[in-house]
């Protein structure tokens, strides 16, 4: 734990210590899988995808995106541009907002608090944070609307489960008593009145009245079904998060065969309300090729390179239902290792991809391997894997569904950021090579090249 904290502090200081924006950008990209920079990249790409949509479609995407963070709604155009140009650590973005809002040191400490494993303590911390956010106006009206819509959607999703539960319970009551009236009275005594109160609360515009009705519905729940309240608290407050952690932890173990993983993914997708369809790679490539990124922070050359690789099928497109990368992921951008430098040697670990490149170029495999070993950045991107610099290819996963346009934009935008990093890294290496060559020639008494 201490080592992780030290690494985070070291990375933060490394980024802060650089004055050149391109150097900051490369640090942010190079460590994009670090907890410091992942929320920045995922949050920025989700926000840009949200803004790329028409107003009618934005809310639909917001209901399913787990990376649409409230802090990006507080940034102005100049600050968003700064984030695009430098990829700062996520805590730095938060500090930018806190500074703008003149948040006191005491309230900053509250905002920095980590949630406890104890659900009761966690709820208390969340309420404290909500109080501070409201005090300084750090939740935009637009994001409040999103939260309220999510609350309604969560209630609707829960209704699917609760309707099944109440239906089974009412049926059991009827079978035990052979009295239809008993089953109807059960439904009228608790489920129908409670759910009616919840429905009224969600529809009311007045927050104060809504708060009163929520308290009344909770008291009604506790008095009518104290055991049900205890079970619900246990299931949703403790067991559900625990089960979720276990699933994520053992997702790729032998305990989760493909059939089980596929079933879990299908259930999660169904409960979320996403309407999936047949995967069409051609359609996905067209979506990715046609995304419009208008930003002075991103060079046109990076966008052109992305489009060229999409058009030439160099970037692989995946169906999340087949790959099952994560139990909750509906889209992603990732990089797969192709080449690993080992001292002065270069080892190719993904020959199938190199063979694909050779076919595209119309040359023999051996010639393509020689080209890649000589100059890998001509065809590949770069990343850090197990603490080593490696050369990679891009993979994008998109679930075919009603929000696939937004998913394509989000992951395509990330890929374009990667192309910008690749170009910057290539330029850095060239500048380094030329600079050192000049020094060598000067030492030998020759004129500069």
**Alpha-carbon distance 410 to 412, whole Å?**
6
> Cβ-count burial of 255 within 10 angstroms (0-12 exposed, 13-18 middle, 19+ buried)?
exposed
Residue that the structure tokens 């890929």 belong to: 415
Give the model's pLDDT for residue 259: 86
Residue 130, number of CB atoms within 10 A of its CB:
11
DSSP state, 139?
Answer: S
Token reading at 244: 């979720």
**Alpha-carbon distance 159 to 163, whole Å?**
6
**Alpha-carbon distance 399 to 373, whole Å?**
35
Residues 6 or more apart whose CB falls under 8 angstroms from that of 234 comprise: none
Nearest to 415 by CA among 340, 310, 339, 337: 310
Give the model's pLDDT for residue 291: 95
| Residue 139 phi, psi dihedral angles, 5° rounding | -125, 115
- pTM metric for this prediction: 0.81
Where residue 157 falls among pLDDT bands split at 50, 70, 90? low
30 has pLDDT over 70: yes
**Alpha-carbon distance 305 to 417, whole Å?**
11
* Angle between the N-to-C axes of helices 90-100 and 2-16, in degrees from 0 to 180, rounded to the nearest 10: 60
55 has pLDDT over 70: yes
Residue that the structure tokens 């090729």 belong to: 289
| Greatest alpha-carbon span in the chain | 106
What tens digit of pLDDT does each residue of 337-391 get?
A: 999 988 788 899 999 999 999 998 899 999 999 999 888 888 899 888 877 889 9
3-state secondary structure of 302: helix
CA distances from 157 to 151, 153, 273 (A): 10, 6, 8
CA distances from 245 to 15, 117, 251, 256, 260 (A): 32, 12, 10, 14, 16
Q: 240 or 79, which is more confident?
A: 79
CA distances from 418 to 17, 42, 203, 334 (A): 22, 13, 43, 10
Q: Quick one: average pLDDT of 393-398? A: 96
125 has pLDDT over 70: yes
Nearest to 269 by CA among 235, 335, 318, 319: 319
Highest mean pLDDT among 168-172, 213-217, 268-272: 268-272
């Amino acid at each position: 734990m201490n080592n992780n904290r030290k690494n985070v502090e070291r990375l933060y200081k490394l980024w802060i210590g650089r004055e050149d924006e391109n150097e900051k950008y490369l640090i942010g990209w190079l460590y994009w899988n670090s907890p410091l920079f992942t929320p920045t990249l995922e949050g920025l790409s989700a926000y840009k995808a949200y803004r790329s949509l028409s107003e009618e479609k934005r809310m639909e995407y917001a209901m399913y995106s787990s990376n649409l963070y409230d802090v990006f709604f507080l940034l102005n155009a100049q600050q968003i541009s700064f984030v695009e140009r430098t990829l700062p650590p996520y805590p730095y973005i938060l500090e930018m907002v806190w500074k703008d809002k003149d948040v006191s040191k005491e309230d900053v400490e509250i905002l920095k608090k980590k949630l406890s494993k104890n659900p009761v303590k966690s709820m208390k911390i969340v309420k404290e944070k909500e109080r501070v956010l409201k005090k300084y106006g750090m939740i935009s009206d637009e994001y409040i609307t999103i939260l309220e819509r999510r609350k309604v959607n969560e209630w609707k999703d829960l209704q699917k489960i609760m309707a099944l539960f109440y239906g089974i319970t009412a049926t059991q009551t009827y079978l035990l008593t052979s009295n239809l009236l008993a089953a109807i009275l059960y439904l009228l005594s608790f489920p129908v009145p409670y759910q009616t109160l919840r429905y009224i609360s969600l529809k009311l515009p007045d927050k104060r009245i809504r708060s009163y009705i929520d308290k009344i519905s909770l008291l009604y729940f506790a008095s009518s079904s104290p055991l049900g309240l205890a079970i619900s608290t246990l299931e949703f407050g403790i067991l559900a998060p625990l089960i979720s952690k276990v699933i994520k932890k053992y997702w790729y173990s032998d305990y989760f065969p493909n059939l089980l993983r596929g079933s879990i993914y299908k259930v999660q997708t169904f409960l979320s309300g996403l309407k999936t369809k047949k995967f069409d790679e051609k359609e996905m490539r067209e979506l990715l090729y046609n995304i419009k990124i208008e930003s002075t922070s991103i060079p046109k050359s990076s966008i052109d390179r992305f489009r060229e690789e999409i058009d030439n099928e160099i970037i692989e497109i995946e169906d999340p239902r087949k790959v099952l990368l994560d139990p909750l992921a509906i889209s992603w951008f990732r990089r797969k290792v192709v080449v690993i430098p080992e001292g002065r040697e270069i080892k190719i670990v993904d020959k199938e991809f190199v063979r694909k490149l050779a076919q595209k170029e119309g040359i023999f495999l051996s010639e393509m391997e020689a080209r890649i070993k000589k100059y890998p950045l001509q065809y590949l991107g770069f990343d850090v894997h197990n603490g080593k610099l490696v050369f990679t290819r891009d993979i994008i996963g998109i679930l075919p569904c009603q929000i696939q346009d937004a998913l394509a934009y989000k992951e395509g935008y990330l890929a374009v950021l990667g192309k910008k990093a690749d170009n910057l890294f290539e330029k850095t290496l060239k500048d380094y090579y030329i600079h050192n060559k000049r020094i060598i020639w000067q030492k030998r008494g020759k004129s500069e090249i």
